[in-house]
Chain A
Amino acid sequence: MRRDLMDILACPMCKGPLTLTVQREKDNDIMEGALHCAACKETYPIKDGIPNLLPPDLRNG
């Protein structure tokens, strides 16, 4: 995912802001990392360049 996507990403539960942690970046694309919502104490993974912001109950569904 591109870094500027952070401008419009929010926690799906509380719609609050997310903090980005980058594990691997390739050509300005974040390939692996995590998005954390401090309010919900929930972490959303970024895998293969796709942020997974599915609510926890659907993440493995």
Chain B
Amino acid sequence: MQEIQPAGTEKARTVSSMFGRIASQYDRGNRVLSLGRDQAWRRIAVRLLNPAPAERVLDIGAGTGDLSLALAKTAGSVVALDFSLPMLEIGAAKVFGARIPVSCVAGDALRLPFPNESFDAVATAFTVRNLAGMERGFAEIFRVLRPGGRLAILEFTRPGSRLVSAVYKPYLSLVLPRIGGRLTGDGPAYRYLAASINSFTTPKEMGALLTGAGFDGVRWRLLNWGTVAVHLGTRPGAPARQRGAGIHA
């Protein structure tokens, strides 16, 4: 297991180089492996986060920019952060010409390059599973959100239903690495993805981590027969100063 589930900075480096390798084929892999559903999940996450026209939103683990593009349909501005430059370079080309400015920044989710309270909302899709320390990641998100700011996390989750698990587990361990490997030429990367999904938290465990990090009103919505979840939470407190519309007091 050491090779596919490394720890700490080593994990960060391994995951980063893995995404660097599969970057050019990543979008196609997503579409095929989610049976064309991943973009719909992103739209649902954005709808639940509900960014207002004056709001500044941070997309953590923006990768090739799909979630940032969905956020850009309603937000005031979007910052797309990722620690893989090859992924971000593809993202930068895709978000060019979006309705509102999407700024690409290379950075680490565990050491965000932003001052305290600099965002109205944070969104992240298929990222927190890969963090070397999820608690540290949530603490950083909490720090950069303004009081009253919202968080939406779209991520795979371990299904509660035994019936779903009976179909899903073989899909993850056998089908996904094979198809992913064929699409991108990198079987090990997709074996890592499958293992990381298989060992990940249940929706309730993730909810408890968010509450533990200080978020209020933590709730979630299950998608795709309970294999994908959108978790929502709010940094407690009223905004210190209203920026723009600021209707989320």
Contact = CB atoms under 8 A, between A and B. Distances in A.
Interface of A: 1-2, 5, 8-13, 15, 44, 48-55, 57-58, 61
B50 interface: no
Interface residues of B, number: 27
B184 interface: no
Q: Which applies to chain A's interface (DSSP): helix, strand, loop or mixed?
A: loop
A44 B56 CA distance: 23
Contact of A8 (B56, B88, B104, B106): B56
From B106, B113, B118, B119, name the one whose CB has the most chain A CB atoms within 10 angstroms: B113
A54 B114 contact: no
Interface in B80-138: 83, 85, 88-89, 92, 101, 103-108, 111-116, 118-119
Contact of A61 (B16, B92, B105, B107): B16
Contact of B111 (A5, A9, A13): A13
B107 A50 contact: no
B56 A58 contact: no
A52 B103 contact: no
Nearest to A11: B113
A8 B107 contact: no
A58 B9 contact: yes
B16 A1 contact: no
Interface string B1-16: 0000000010011001
B115 A15 contact: yes
B198 interface: no
Interface of B: 9, 12-13, 16-17, 56, 79, 83, 85, 88-89, 92, 101, 103-108, 111-116, 118-119
A61 B12 CA distance: 8
Given A49-B92, A49-B104, A50-B92, 12 more contacts: A1-B103, A1-B105, A8-B119, A15-B114, A15-B115, A15-B116, A48-B89, A50-B105, A51-B106, A53-B106, A58-B9, A61-B16
Contacts of B118: 8
A11 B115 CA distance: 8
Given A2-B103, A58-B108, A9 B12 contact: no
